[in-house]
Structure 1
Amino acid sequence: MGGNYPDRYVIMMIGAIMVAAALAFWQLIGVIILAGTLAVVLLPIHRSFIRVINPAVSSFLIATLVLLVVTSAIGFTITIFYTHSEYISYIINTILEWVSSLAATGTPTVGQSEMNEWIMLQLDTFSEWTSALVYQAPMILVKCVVFLMALMAFIYKGDEIYTEIVESLPGRLSSGVKEISTTAVGTLYAIYVVHVITAVITFLLAIPFFYFLGYDYVLFYATIAGLFQLIPILGPSLLMIFLAIYALSIGDLRGAALIALIGYPIVCAVPDLIFRPLIMGMRAKLNPLLMWIGFFGGLAVMGLIGFILGPLIIALVVSGYVVMIRELKAAKTEENAVA
């Protein structure tokens, strides 16, 4: 009878090794987990590639493609802000002059000195952040290299590892793991792919709105709205608040009203509250409310990586609960049948 079950001391030893490895590489564990979750979403591309090329070459090409996409996105964002820096400075100066004029008339508002202090505080904070970034550059480089290597490894061996684990489990446990993994894959798809799709939808909705608003640089504003949609929690709402203040500063009450009554609901709320839950529900098969709990809770507890891990953990808990209830009901049915 004992030979049908794995030796508990072997399991304990392997568990201790895994815990020790996690503690030893704790500073890199977030990067490795991030690479693993992204690899799950990219595996369908890998399965298509290996029909015509070597699996190792496929994993390398996909990791290289990810690197190119990320670096291109960062470079594009920096270029967009740099090429429009004079225009952005003009808007900021216009707002500051408006605030100063309001203060001169006795209108209760933030004074020029307070505004200057706030700006200097933000500049100092940004300077400290960039200094810390330069100081941490070697570690950031190491994390980037580890991320790419882990991504290649997970893509290259992901299917094989998953198959080995599932096939080594008892029948009912194997089926439960398959069900949970299906939910996990759908959730990760919803997090990564749907996030990008929502940003694209925001960009497309922003183009006609900013054109109708009548301001110059329609594509610039639409691009910023799409890029901000990729930022957890804030999204394009930050852009709308900024533009609403600018509209008031130039006396454009029509523009301020359009931003408040049309811009925010269509460009900010519609993608987040309608399209995102709708598309997520098609794949994740998880209540959108639970997804949002995962997003906000994950960000609060784990930082930016919590935006990925929060919903994933919620999905695993829910799918695990469903499997547990089904197994308990099956065991109760068998017990009643024997009785």
Structure 2
Amino acid sequence: MVTRGQVIGGVLLAMAVLSTVVLWDVLPTVLFAITVAYVLTPLRRQFRKRGYSKRVSSVATTIVAVIGLLIALTPIVLLLVVRFNDVIAVLETLPDELTVEFAGFAYTLVLADLFDIAIGWLSSVGATVAAEIPVLLIKLALFILLVFGLLQNERNIQQAILGIVPPAYRDVAEALAERARETLFAIYVLQAATAVGTFIIALPIFLAFGYQSPVALATIAGILQFIPIVGPTVLIGILAIAHVVAGEFLSAIAIVVIGGAFISWLPDLAIRPRLAAYTADLDGSLYFIGFVGGLLTVGAIGVIVGPLVVALLAEAAKIAKQEYNPAVESIAGVSDSEDSEDDLGDRRGEEGLDEASDDKDDRQSDEDPVNKP
């Protein structure tokens, strides 16, 4: 027999599908706003714990989201618009051909065609960004309104979603939600911090080597940090090849050693471990699959959605394993579960305080001053 809750859940799912179809053109903006609001929920709760009202906390958190978005987009805009000629100049300094000799055989790799494709792609992207500035401003306004609305109505949204989940399965929903937050934190905060650190480290190194447009090269190195596994190693390899073709073998060795150690590896060794405790334990190869697959399937938003889906798949597999093999638990697994239960209890306590404050604000806003005695 179909229950009332199942019917309401079906209606909610149908409305979600209908909204996806109707809002398809702005769906990436909507998804991006949802993920950002979800990651910034703990920050909003910190504002609430310090005594700020629900509205003020939501506005302050939204401002943080907008500032973070502008900081993230600024390097890309500089490369595609302001410093575009410098990027083209760097590509034009690279050799048109690369000859590799080994065991008496010589193979010539023509790079000019690849550079022409890269320059054409960058030109088209830059022109598209410049032409769609009004549309981008509208999407920015939509992003701001969505983030504020989601933060302002966080408790109601959470209750609506959990309300359609049967009580016996709410632990699964909570586990998936926590995994989603950890993964999104890894994508936004950890990757962004690593990218900024890479830029700061790379800039003086490129200045010391005397490269043209060191700021552009350092920016490219920082952006490449968002590509898992590969990272700035591609840029270091291209610079080393350029030195080899120019006959500067010592410079090629130096950029490989110094650039590889400080630009490619140091940010991963110095920054990531400090933030890793707050992120999902997702294997690098799985993250790479999600990154590339999401990018090729749904476009730019796939950089976020792809790894998120893969992380949720890994969490679902973990839950299924525990469900079908409940007796298979290591001592470390038991201790980890105890720690996670303690952390969950702390989070629930904080959420309880926040929800109590939200309830108070809701009651105060619902009161009609005219009807007061």
TM band (smaller chain): 0.7 to 0.9
TM-score with structure 2 setting the length? 0.68
Residue of structure 2 in register with 1:104 after alignment: none
Residue of structure 2 in register with 1:307 after alignment: 303
8 Å Cα contact 1:167/1:174 also seen in 2 = no
The residue correspondences of 1:99-110 to structure 2 (distance < 5 A) are none
Residue of structure 2 in register with 1:174 after alignment: 170
Q: What is the aligned counterpart of 2:259 among 257, 263, 269?
A: 263
Residue 254 of structure 1 aligns to a residue whose secondary structure is: helix
Letter of the 1:55 partner, please give it. K
Residue of structure 1 in register with 2:58 after alignment: 59
Residue of structure 2 in register with 1:45 after alignment: 43
- For residues 227 and 300 of structure 1, the distance between their equivalents in structure 2, rounded to whole angstroms, comes to 18
Cα pair distance change 1:158/1:232, threshold 3 Å = farther
8 Å Cα contact 2:225/2:231 also seen in 1 = yes
Cα pair distance change 1:82/1:283, threshold 3 Å = closer
Cα pair distance change 1:120/1:290, threshold 3 Å = closer
Residue by residue over 1:55-101, the C-alpha shift from the partner in whole angstroms, topping out at 9 and shown as x without a partner, is 223323332333234334544565589887887677666556x97xx
Residue 65 of structure 2 aligns to a residue whose secondary structure is: helix
Residue of structure 1 in register with 2:32 after alignment: 34
Moved more, 173-182 or 319-328: 319-328
Residue 258 of structure 1 aligns to a residue whose secondary structure is: helix
Number of aligned positions between the proteins? 318
TM-score with structure 1 setting the length? 0.73
- For residues 30 and 84 of structure 1, the distance between their equivalents in structure 2, rounded to whole angstroms, comes to 27
- For residues 177 and 85 of structure 1, the distance between their equivalents in structure 2, rounded to whole angstroms, comes to 46
Residue by residue over 1:223-266, the C-alpha shift from the partner in whole angstroms, topping out at 9 and shown as x without a partner, is 55324424677643343244335534654321111123442354
Quote the offset at 1:272 in angstroms: 5.4
Cα pair distance change 1:128/1:148, threshold 3 Å = same
Residue 284 of structure 1 aligns to a residue whose secondary structure is: coil
- Larger fraction in helix: 1
Structure 1, gaps ≥5 residues long:
100-106, 331-339
Structure 2, gaps ≥5 residues long:
98-105, 327-373
Moved more, 181-190 or 302-311: 302-311
Residue by residue over 1:303-333, the C-alpha shift from the partner in whole angstroms, topping out at 9 and shown as x without a partner, is 2222211121122122223333444557xxx
Percent of aligned pairs sharing the same letter: 27
Quote the offset at 1:23 in angstroms: 1.1
Letter of the 2:63 partner, please give it. T
Residue of structure 2 in register with 1:183 after alignment: 179
Cα pair distance change 1:169/1:15, threshold 3 Å = closer
- For residues 156 and 62 of structure 2, the distance between their equivalents in structure 1, rounded to whole angstroms, comes to 18
- For residues 135 and 89 of structure 1, the distance between their equivalents in structure 2, rounded to whole angstroms, comes to 20
- For residues 95 and 325 of structure 1, the distance between their equivalents in structure 2, rounded to whole angstroms, comes to 51
The residue correspondences of 1:1-339 to structure 2 (distance < 5 A) are 5-6=3-4, 8-50=6-48, 51-75=50-74, 95=94, 115=112, 124-166=120-162, 169-206=165-202, 209-210=205-206, 213=209, 221-230=217-226, 235-248=231-244, 251-269=247-265, 271=267, 276=272, 279-280=275-276, 283-328=279-324
8 Å Cα contact 2:291/2:307 also seen in 1 = yes
Quote the offset at 1:218 in angstroms: 6.5
- For residues 210 and 126 of structure 1, the distance between their equivalents in structure 2, rounded to whole angstroms, comes to 22
- For residues 15 and 201 of structure 2, the distance between their equivalents in structure 1, rounded to whole angstroms, comes to 51
Cα pair distance change 1:135/1:154, threshold 3 Å = same
The alignment's C-alpha RMSD in Å is 4.0
